[in-house]
Amino acid sequence: MSKIFRKKRSDPDAMTLVEHLAELRKRLVISAFAVTLGAIVAYVFYDAILRFFMHPLCVVDGPNHCTLYVNGPLDGFTWRVKISGFAGLFVALPVVMYQLWAFIAPGLKKSEKRYAIPFVFVSFVLFLSGAYIAYLVFPKALLFLQGAAGPQIHPLYTPQSYLGFIVVLMAAFGAAFEFPVILVTLELLGVVTPARLAKGRRWAIVLIFAAGAIFIPSSDPYSLFALTIPLVIFYELSIAIGRVLTRGRQNLSSVS
């Protein structure tokens, strides 16, 4: 049994199973600490964060009617903690992204490890862009959903129904916008090739629209097109970027 964990390997940079688990634990601890610290900061600035999330509702219903209602004395405090946690994750996202890259970096070549800083920066910008697009389109989505209920039905929102909804929508858009980073990383790791992605682009576009229609929390057409059209563009960009970054590998394989 102990032979499994011995460092008998020809590659000096290779890691044993125990070392991989220790590295994963280290990265998770650092990420959790960064998120906790960010949540504490967000808790202090909770009022400003709440106004930010309430703005779309105030745009739709007017400043005198954008109010949320709670059913119990602990509900308000519970949602303050939840919103602070979400904001803390957002603040700590660059640290979390760097820890993720540091964990997968041993599987890359030395020439590919130099992409660490661009990986973190692009991942953060893409998540921010996705979340902000969801925030911008949310008033139209809210108008569509309220109008679909009919003129005699008036909403009475709770933090769960409104804050939970907008937070999940922004998180879903932000996570979906990491799509090109995942594709380029898979290309660098050799899991997929740009040629294979280009060959399957038609099916990929169909799957993007299908997944958007299924998994978008709001299920409205504005959110659907705001999400899927950028993802289709990202797919094409990932193919182009992958061709550039793996050009040396492709030349080597063609020579061999």
Q: What percentage of the chain has pLDDT greater than the value 70? A: 87
Q: What angle do CA 89, 94, 98 make, to 5 degrees?
A: 120
254 assigned to some structural domain = no
The residue-averaged pLDDT of 44-73 equals: 89
Query: 93-105 pLDDT, tens per residue?
Result: 889 888 887 777 6
Is 11 contained in some domain? no
Q: Whole domain around residue 199: which residue ranges?
A: 16-151+158-247
Q: Is there a domain that residue 221 lies in?
A: yes
Q: What tokens does 110 get?
A: 């030395």
Name the token pair of 193: 């090739």
The structural domain count of the chain equals 1
pLDDT score recorded for residue 252: 43
- Closest listed residue to residue 131, CA positions, set 72, 173, 178: 173
Q: Do the domain assignments include residue 227? A: yes
Q: Please indicate, yes or no, if residue 188 is contained in any of the structural domains.
A: yes
Q: Is residue 4 classed exposed, middle or buried when 0-12, 13-18 and 19+ CB atoms within 10 A define those classes?
A: exposed
The per-residue pLDDT for range 174-211, each reduced to its tens digit, is 999 999 999 998 888 888 999 999 999 999 999 999 99
Identify whether 6 is part of a domain.
Answer: no
Secondary structure of 205-251 in the HEC alphabet? HHHHHHHHHHHCCCCCHHHHHHHHHHHHHHHHHHHHHHHHHCHHHHH
Residue the block writes with tokens 């890359």: 108
